[in-house]
């Protein structure tokens, strides 16, 4: 008799401070989580997505933020970044439109909408003043969504 072991779903959350090194720490942690769960094929795409989301939180919020990594089944991972800024950025409020050619902002999150399998945002409401913020999330696979669509 051959036994197959099915790994139960897993979730990891890491709290990150308002520190310029936070995106690098998030990428290293994500890379290790994917490796130990046998999902290394997701690393390149997942790192790009997490890096953009964490960098956005670092640049546009004033407090700490967190990265949540969750097994989404079928060789997929769901990444979520929660921060203290309640404003949901443009690419997550409506369908993704390319930023203007010379735009200095908006390119990173636009890339997220192209490379993610699915994506979205939720406002977070807290009970005390100053709590709340938002959660930006993405799901990804080893093959970025932009490689599956015709972008011409």
Q: What is the pLDDT along the chain (152 residues), one digit of tens a residue?
A: 555 556 678 999 999 999 999 999 999 999 999 999 999 999 999 999 999 999 999 999 988 999 999 999 889 999 999 999 998 887 776 555 555 555 555 567 788 888 899 999 998 886 555 567 999 999 999 876 655 554 44
Backbone angles phi, psi at 108, to 5 degrees: -65, -50
Identify the H or E element spanning 66. strand 65-71
Which of 65, 61, 48 is CA-nearest to residue 113?
Answer: 48
Beta bridge partners of 67: 14, 81
Fold classification of 11-148 is Heat Shock Protein 90 (3.30.565)
Domains of the chain, by residue range, sit at 11-148
Structure tokens at 67: 């990265």
CA 96 – CA 91 distance, rounded (Å): 5
DSSP of 90-140, one letter per residue? HHHHSS--PPPTT-SSSHHHHHHHHH-SEEEEEEEE-SSTT-EEEEEEEEE
Contact 46, 77 (CB under 8 A): yes
On whether the pTM is more than 0.85, the answer is: no
**Contacts of 90 by beta carbon, 8 Å cutoff, 6+ apart:** 106, 109
């Amino acid at each position: 008799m051959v036994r197959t072991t099915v790994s139960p779903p897993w979730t990891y959350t890491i709290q990150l401070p308002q520190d310029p090194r936070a995106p690098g720490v998030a990428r290293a942690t994500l890379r290790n989580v994917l490796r130990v769960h046998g999902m290394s094929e997701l690393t390149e795409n997942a790192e790009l997505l997490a890096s953009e989301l964490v960098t956005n939180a670092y640049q546009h919020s004033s407090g700490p933020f967190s990265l949540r990594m969750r097994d989404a089944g079928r060789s997929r991972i769901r990444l979520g970044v929660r921060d203290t800024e309640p404003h949901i950025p443009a690419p997550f409020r409506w369908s993704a439109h390319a930023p203007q050619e010379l735009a200095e902002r908006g390119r990173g999150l636009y890339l997220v909408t192209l490379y993610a399998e699915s994506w979205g945002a939720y406002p977070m409401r807290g009970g005390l003043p100053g709590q709340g913020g938002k959660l930006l999330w993405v799901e990804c696979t080893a093959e970025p969504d932009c490689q599956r669509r015709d972008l011409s």
